[in-house]
Amino acid sequence: METEKRLEISESALPGARFQLQAAQDPDVGQFSIQQYKLSQNEHFRVEVRDRGEDRKVPVLVLQKQLDRETTEKHKLRLTAVDGGKPAKSGNIEIIVDVLDVNDNSPVFIKESYSATIKENIPIGTVVIQVNATDLDKGANGEIIYSFGNEVNKKTSELFSLNKNTGEITIRPHYDVTIIAKDSGDPSFTVEKTINVVVSDVNDNFPEFSMGPYTFYISENNIPGASVFSVKAFDRDDGENALVSYGILREMNSDNKLSSFLSINSETGEISALKSFDFESVKTFQFHVVATDSGSPPLSILCKFSTKLY
């Protein structure tokens, strides 16, 4: 009698399926020949005996509970043949059942959600993010192929390239990209995951002062501390990079010291006179305002303004 026998049974086999095994050999005849077969205790199989006559009894393995390759890939059973002698004699063979895979599992993304933030000046070819899905099936049934979802528009697919084998998304301002992970089974199973990609602003724009006029008029004998005029600058960037603050450039080495008599609100650009001006003493003067954004590093612009008293 052989000591080992291997069977291949698909995990799609239904309970009640039968698999005939090779009968044990016994040179004795009659009641001393093989009379029964016993199977080691297990939850998936039992053994039946078919009587073929002429002292020939054939064991049949019967599936009692459906197999699941992802849970148990291999089952080891011990089949015992027993003759009818007194005392009875027996022989054993190990039955190894290799469970064949069927495509019964969908791919699963490793992470619940994926998101990426990229800079607007990111070089072409840079890997933005890599998604990863797994499939419990085996062979082609477990091989993952990635692709963009059907609702991804043409513009998005032109901006991003997806490696179908690795799940890497590379560059090709807030985008939602749907990735499909599909196994190679027949039939195939798919799973989708939406990737949120946010394009973050780069501080690549200088503040700009609104169009002129850049000449302001102040009446003499003005009230000290009162607002006399205001300046306004804007920045084409976004978020913190677009927040502008203001300051007056103090020209310490200049003969023009009148700019020191002005004060500017750093947030609003509103300019106030710190003293009362006298038309007979001064009729006009110039000063510089610096507008600086809040980027890192910050960018600044300097603008010259003229003031005339009347």
Cα atoms found within 13 Å of the Cα of residue 5, Cβ hemisphere only: 20
Q: What is the pLDDT of residue 191?
A: 92
Q: What is the pTM of this model?
A: 0.61
Q: What is the pLDDT of residue 173?
A: 63
Q: What is the pLDDT of residue 66?
A: 96
Q: What is the pLDDT of residue 5?
A: 93
**Per-residue pLDDT of the chain in tens (310 residues, 90 and over written 9):** 578 999 999 999 999 999 999 999 888 888 889 999 999 999 999 999 998 877 689 999 999 999 999 999 999 999 999 998 999 999 999 999 999 999 999 999 999 999 999 887 788 788 999 999 999 999 899 999 999 988 888 778 878 889 999 999 998 766 778 899 999 998 899 999 988 887 778 888 899 988 766 888 888 888 888 888 889 998 988 888 999 999 998 765 555 566 678 899 999 999 998 888 887 888 888 888 999 999 989 999 999 888 888 8
Q: What is the pLDDT of residue 99?
A: 96
Domains of the chain: which residue ranges? 4-100, 108-200, 208-309
The C-alpha torsion from 225 through 230 and 234 to 238, rounded to 10°, is: 40
CATH topology of domain 108-200: Immunoglobulin-like (2.60.40)
In contact, 159 and 175? CB cutoff 8 Å? yes
Q: What is the pLDDT of residue 255?
A: 53
**Neighbouring C-beta atoms of residue 238, cutoff 10 Å:** 15
Q: What is the pLDDT of residue 259?
A: 66
In contact, 61 and 42? CB cutoff 8 Å? no
In contact, 169 and 148? CB cutoff 8 Å? no
Q: What is the pLDDT of residue 98?
A: 96
From the options 3.90.1300.10, 3.30.450.20, 2.60.40.60, 2.130.10.10, give the CATH code of 208-309: 2.60.40.60
**Neighbouring C-beta atoms of residue 195, cutoff 10 Å:** 22
In contact, 305 and 247? CB cutoff 8 Å? no
From the options 1.20.120.330, 3.40.50.720, 2.60.40.60, 2.40.50.140, give the CATH code of 4-100: 2.60.40.60
Q: What is the pLDDT of residue 222?
A: 83
Q: What is the pLDDT of residue 110?
A: 95
Are both 4-100 and 108-200 of the same fold?
yes
